Chains A and B, each alone.
Chain A
Amino acid sequence: MTFTLNIWRQKGPEDSGRFVTYEARDVSAGMSFLEMLDSVNQRLIADGEEPVAFEQDCREGICGSCSLVINGVPHGPDRGITTCQLYMRRFPDGAVITIEPWRARSFPIIKDLVVDRRALDRIMQAGGYISVNTGGAVDGNVLLIGKDQAETAMDAASCIGCGACVAACKNASAMLFVAAKVSHLASLPQGKPERTHRVRAMLEAMDREGFGSCGNQYECEAVCPKSIGVRFIANLNREYLRAGVVESGLLSEPEAPHAESA
């Protein structure tokens, strides 16, 4: 198979960047998208040209670093997968494929297709954790929770923080990411004591980082490699409204679940 690739090339953060056309030759249908890019890079290196910089790590759909917008869709045309799980048989022979980096003010381009996604880390640092002092804490499995609750937490926890939701959102909003993290922790007993602080701190961090707001178009849900639903954004909105009520003194926070046994 042969493909014409329009790839975004940008030497560095200060470069204005441009599309450069390459030909991917001798591509087998069983090659993954990243393997196809590897083969193009091998040829570029052999020709003494600068290879295309792109991120990759696990190549198992787990890490989410293979962040590419392929023909206008983050992670490519298939639903519920990362770019590394996309195979060239998905494209017709001779197809023109346009490859761009995630585009958002909060994700500045480092080089070519590689963007700086540390903004998501900073949102996590603002409150996406549970402060449990180890030693006196009860083992997590001792606290029994309902199956629905466990499944909700698990669905939200499947977020790998790849940023495809930001890339797909018309407003470059990180709300599905924040919603998944907030919902995951707020649905578990260990996460409830800090839920008010968490939702406020994470949203403030999101706004500070320059992400947009949710337009309820649900493109984020459509491209999420873990198929995280927009119902979590509704949950985030509820959590945020609840935080306002708690801060006004009308509702109090529950006790930490491990407090009695400590």
Chain B
Amino acid sequence: MTRLVSHFRSSVGSKVVMALTGLGLIVYVVFHMLGNLQVFEGPHALNSYAALLHEMPILLWTARLGLLSIAVVHIVLAIQLTLRNRRARPTAYAIREYRQASLASRTMAVSGVVLLLFIVFHLLHVTAGVVDPSFSDRVDAEGYRDVYARLIHAFRNPLIVGLYLAGQLGLGLHVSHAVSSSLQSLGLEHAAFNRLFKSAGPAVALLVVLGNVAIILAVFLGIVRA
């Protein structure tokens, strides 16, 4: 057991755990986006979907705690690795020119912090109803929690829209490097698939951000309305 722990505490082992937890979070983000796209089908679809998730409290809380655990492991490891990496180069270069490092790869720590702040805000806003409690208890005609009305109310507010778009920028940057980087950390490499692996990150990031931004802007521009 001690050997196994030391195996995953090494520079490569930590990256493997970072990759696995990161990929787990990305899978959740994709399904979260797909679920929310039901807003385009109207209040009944979204509210009954939300009710369905809440009808299985054991499953819901298992998923929530599971998600929280892997997020915590991911964040703690990210901090540990960042500190270790900073120690590895105490003196910076006077001039630093990058040859092929993408903007996303160079801003992982920044986009990660933006993303974390956004997630905390999003949970306080939507899950806990702390930011704007006005619609928290509202139910629709069928007796479901009116998630749809709350979403419409939120994204009519330019400040909320701005914050969500900033969060999507952080998410897009982080995911676009994360997916391909994770595959490399897990040792997935083959001449026939390398192009696919490299484009997987930007493709997933584009998919998730486009889906989420479509919801935000559709409400803000009045395409989807109450």
Contacts and interface: CB of A to CB of B under 8 A. Distances in A.
A211 B15 contact: no
A213 B12 contact: yes
B95 A72 contact: yes
Interface of B: 3-4, 7, 10-16, 81, 84-85, 87-102, 105-106, 108, 177, 180-181, 184-189, 194
A219 B94 contact: no
A72 B88 contact: no
Contact of A203 (B4, B10, B90): B10
Interface of A: 6, 8, 19, 69, 71-73, 98, 100, 103-106, 168, 170-173, 175, 200, 203-204, 206-207, 210-219, 221-223, 230-231, 233-241, 243-244, 247-248
Nearest to B183: A234
Contact of A248 (B4, B11, B194): B4
Nearest to A96: B95
Nearest to B81: A213
A180 B60 CA distance: 46
Contacts of A235: 187, 189
19 contacts: A173-B11, A173-B85, A210-B87, A212-B11, A212-B89, A213-B14, A213-B85, A215-B181, A217-B105, A219-B99, A219-B101, A221-B100, A231-B189, A235-B187, A236-B12, A237-B16, A240-B7, A241-B187, A244-B7
Nearest to B92: A103
A171 B7 CA distance: 20
Contacts, number: 137
A213 B96 CA distance: 19
Contacts of A210: 87-88
A240 to B, nearest CB: 5
Given A212-B88, A218-B101, A237 B15 contact: yes
B213 to A, nearest CB: 26
Contact of A72 (B96, B102, B105): B96
Given A207-B10, A235-B189, A71 B89 contact: no
Given A172-B89, A215-B105, 16 more contacts: A19-B94, A71-B95, A72-B96, A103-B89, A105-B90, A203-B10, A203-B12, A212-B89, A214-B15, A216-B177, A216-B180, A217-B101, A222-B99, A231-B189, A237-B184, A240-B7
Contacts of A238: 187, 189
B97 A72 contact: yes
A215 B82 CA distance: 10
A106 B7 CA distance: 22
B100 A72 contact: no
Contacts of A231: 189, 194
Nearest to B198: A218
Given A106-B88, A216-B181, A235-B189, A241 B16 contact: yes
B89 A214 contact: no
A244 B89 contact: no
Nearest to B104: A217
Contacts of B89: 103-105, 170-172, 212
Contacts of B194: 231
